[in-house]
Structure 1
Amino acid sequence: MRFLAHFSPFCALDLSNMTKNIAIFASGSGSNAENIIRYFMDHETIRVALVVSTRSNAFVLERSETLGVPFEVFLRDEWASGGANVLAALQRYNIDFVVLAGFLAHIPDAILHTYPDKVINIHPSLLPKYGGKGMYGDHVHEAVVAARETETGITIHYLNERYDEGEVIVQVACPVLPEDTPQDVAAKVHALEYEHYPQVIEEVITGLL
């Protein structure tokens, strides 16, 4: 099941003759980040130009190095102080779009204002259910199972100043069976993320969404 819910004036632009540079923000292992990088590796007009993390030992940095993508690390105090150094790096790499893939730090307003409708996040539930501060990863899947939900899924949305309240772009659902554990739910949700997130990013940037 797939729900589409967005139209922006940006989407009406003709991007066919312009390369768009993506920065991926990721804090952990980076499996989603690697999936996105590989998806765009041979793309004609879109490329992942930068990976940004809050942790110098995040495995996503090894993934990006292996795949030949530059990376930058900014510790949490740099984000909390307004993100000026982060924003400078985005501009240095000529970043057009920011994609969050398992990123846990709060995005400073300065970045959101510089990239209006160009910062995209993925959340592992069907928002507004199981969203908000502290609801990420296994916390979400555990809550879904505890509530005996019959379905869950992913929400891809634009980021704004409030956790998980940005405008929805796409939601994709999957069933939750009575016998499913949080690990079972996580596996289903991850499969949806890998299948749909790169495609939706492409469709947003190229104006199909």
Structure 2
Amino acid sequence: MLNVVVLVSGGGTNLQAIIDAVDSGEITNTKIAGVISNNKNAYALERAEKHGIPNQCISPKDYKSREIFNQEFMKAVDVMQPDLIVLAGFLVVIPAEMIAKYRNRMINIHPSLIPAFCGTGFYGLKVHEKALERGVKVVGATVHFVDEGTDTGPIILQKAVEVEQGDTPEVLQRRVMEQAEWRILPRAIDLIANGKVKVEGHRVTIES
């Protein structure tokens, strides 16, 4: 059984997609061990509460230094004994020590086809604003392992979504969520839970 801890800063739509996929059996061999947010008002915490999932807020604002926050944050994660950590819209820099400890056991969902529209400053609506400004015809989402860079870890799954005439950043964001993010994130977790994902260097291979 894969113990999953989800880290989230906001509404938790990707968290909900994971919860629904576990409930429906789309994600197998998996238990959501806990949810941690840096935002006490995050609706994601309510989503977790409704499903009886242990949840808590740990915010950098509540600590005198980033070092103390990092220590307490890592302690809270470690207590949940995760086999896999899922960043589902988590807007806090992950401590390097934690990345090293959970190497190839921490994944992130990003709302673009990496390496396009990713890296520092590309998050949330900004990704879709830039894509529309550039006039691309295809966008999408990427699930990747987390390394020391920003959106630079080995890519697990990607799914493309077509840009439509008259799209606004908000409309495009919603379509990317529905058609890509909510599909490939649960799929990636299920593949990992069943031992089908292998990482060699910077490449990921998926066993059929």
Bin for the TM-score computed over the shorter chain? 0.7 to 0.9
- Give CA deviations for 1:67-93 in whole Å, capped at 9, x if unaligned: 110012111256932622222222222
Q: How does 1:145-164 map to 2 (within 5 A)?
A: 145-164=132-151
**Pairs within 5 Å for 1:122-201:** 122-191=109-178, 192-201=180-189
Alignment size in residue pairs: 191
Residue 100 of structure 1 contacts residue 119 of structure 1 at CA under 8 Å; is this kept in 2? Answer: yes
Give the TM-score normalised by structure 2.
0.86
Select the structure with the greater relative contact order (CA < 8 A; seq sep ≥ 6).
Answer: 1
Equivalent residue number for residue 120 of structure 1: 107
**Structure 1 outlier segments of 4+, above 4 Å:** none
Q: Which of the numbers 38, 47, 52 marks the counterpart of 2:31?
A: 47
Structure 1: segments with no counterpart, 5+ residues: 1-18
The superposition leaves residues 157-209 of structure 1 with CA deviations (integer Å, 9 ceiling, x where unpaired) of 00111111111111111111343222221122011111221111110231223
Choose from 12, 23, 26 the match for 1:30: 12
CA distance, structure 2, for counterparts of residue 142 and residue 91 of structure 1: 37
How does 1:3-14 map onto structure 2 within 5 Å? none
Q: Say which SS state the counterpart of residue 183 (structure 2) adopts.
A: helix
Structure 2: distance between partners of 1:126 and 1:46: 27
* Aligned-partner Cα distance in 1 for 2:20–2:2: 16
Q: Does 2:44 align with 1:56? A: no
Aligned identity (percent) is 32
Q: 3-state DSSP class of the match of 1:83?
A: helix
For residues 71-90 of structure 1, the aligned pairs below 5 Å read: 71-76=55-60, 80-81=66-67, 83-90=70-77
Question: Can you give the 5+ residue segments of structure 2 that lack an aligned partner in the other structure?
Answer: 198-208
